[in-house]
């Protein structure tokens, strides 16, 4: 959404299209966004193929009228064999929502994007009482953003330099923590960086946050794991060999950490995709966090 808001802030004439409901088998999923200008699709996708071609054409048709509406589409009418229905919201957007959205993304606070289904102006609202991941009513379509936690990456080495950009590109907020100032300075794309001794980590981690540990050695990993197990993080992943994992686990057990507590730690980290290189391992880590995020916020 950050990129969508940036584009809306920069342009004067744009249609924001959203898949707000689907039935059966359709190429686009609920919550898919696409921006359309005079030149056609600008950014995003509502699923591609004939459905997207129709949405782009319809958006260009509505653009001059500066109206918003909902169009119910039966893909069978387009000759598509998937046999489904999709409700698409067309909203004539302006720089107002682009600026408010950009400010919301920058703030890092959870917010709701509120889009009128027929008449009215889109808005960004905070602290709404309705805490439903995605829903519609008879006047507005709401969707919550920035609702997830922060990924705390401990260690700013070569693997982190491959992983952090991927996490950012897929919508995670990331804080990189290392005990070497020259390393944390390498992560300009991170939302935040912190140089601190691993013996005293001044970070408050909540139940929606993730912890990824990839320090330069077993001493750093041990300290960060001990810290992580004292938090409510929804995910604790550690990079390391079987030998290092066994060594650290034995050390933590000797310090009073229980076997049940150790089960909170995911190691080896990432999805098993046969990754070997730092680039591939970074992809596997990112994929695992995407999977966890998706499961966390299923309806």
Tokens 């810290």 sit at which residue?
227
Q: What's the pLDDT at 131?
A: 53
Q: What's the pLDDT at 81?
A: 61
Percent of the chain with pLDDT over 90: 56
Q: pLDDT tens-digit profile of 95-116?
A: 889 999 989 888 878 888 999 9
CATH among 3.10.20.30, 3.40.50.2300, 3.40.50.720, 3.30.420.10 for 150-296: 3.40.50.720
Q: d(Cα 47, Cα 298) in Å, to the nearest integer?
A: 20
Helix (H), strand (E), coil (C) string for 211-259: EEECCCCHHHHHHHHHHHHCCCCCEEEECCCHHHHHHHHHHHHHCCCCH
Q: What's the pLDDT at 299?
A: 47
- Contact between 86 and 19 under an 8 Å Cβ cutoff? The reply is yes
Q: What's the pLDDT at 82?
A: 66
Q: pLDDT tens-digit profile of 177-219?
A: 999 999 999 999 999 999 999 999 999 999 989 999 999 989 9
Q: d(Cα 155, Cα 163) in Å, to the nearest integer?
A: 11
| Top-confidence residue, 32 or 130 | 32
Q: What's the pLDDT at 28?
A: 73
Q: Average pLDDT of 134-149?
A: 76
Containing 227, the helix (H) or strand (E) segment is helix 218-229
Is the pLDDT assigned to residue 16 strictly greater than 90? yes
Q: d(Cα 275, Cα 289) in Å, to the nearest integer?
A: 16
Q: What's the pLDDT at 189?
A: 92
> For residue 53, how far is the Cα from the chain centroid?
27
Question: Residues spanned by CATH 3.40.50.720 within the chain?
Answer: 150-296
Mean pLDDT of the chain, nearest integer = 89
For helices 218-229 and 242-254, give the axis angle rounded to 10 degrees: 50
Q: What's the pLDDT at 136?
A: 54
Q: Average pLDDT of 228-236?
A: 96
Q: pLDDT tens-digit profile of 261-283?
A: 999 999 989 999 999 999 999 99
């Amino acid at each position: 959404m950050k990129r969508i808001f940036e584009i809306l802030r920069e342009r004067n004439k744009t249609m924001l299209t959203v898949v707000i409901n689907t039935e059966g088998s359709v190429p686009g999923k609920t919550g898919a966004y696409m921006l359309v200008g005079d030149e056609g699709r600008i950014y995003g996708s509502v699923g591609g193929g004939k459905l997207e071609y129709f949405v782009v054409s319809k958006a260009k048709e509505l653009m001059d009228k500066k109206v918003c509406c909902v169009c119910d589409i039966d893909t069978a009418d387009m000759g598509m064999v998937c046999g489904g229905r999709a409700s698409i919201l067309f909203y004539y957007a302006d720089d107002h929502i682009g600026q408010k959205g950009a400010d919301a993304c920058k703030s890092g606070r959870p917010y709701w994007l509120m889009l009128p289904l027929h008449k009215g102006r889109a808005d960004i609202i905070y602290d709404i009482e309705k805490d439903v991941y995605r829903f519609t009513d008879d006047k507005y379509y709401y969707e919550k953003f920035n609702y997830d936690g922060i990924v705390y990456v401990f260690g700013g080495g070569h693997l982190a330099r491959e992983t952090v950009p991927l996490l950012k590109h897929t919508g995670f907020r990331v804080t990189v923590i290392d005990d070497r100032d020259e390393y944390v300075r390498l992560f300009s794309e991170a939302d935040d960086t912190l140089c601190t001794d691993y013996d005293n980590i001044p970070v408050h981690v909540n139940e929606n946050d993730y912890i990824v540990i990839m320090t330069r050695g077993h001493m750093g990993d041990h300290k960060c794991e001990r810290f992580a197990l004292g938090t409510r993080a929804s995910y604790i992943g550690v990079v390391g060999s079987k030998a290092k994992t066994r060594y650290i686990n034995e050390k933590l057990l000797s310090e009073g950490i229980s076997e049940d507590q150790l089960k909170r730690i995911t190691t080896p980290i990432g999805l098993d995709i046969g990754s070997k290189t730092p680039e591939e391992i970074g992809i596997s880590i990112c994929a695992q966090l995407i999977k966890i995020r998706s499961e966390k916020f299923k309806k």
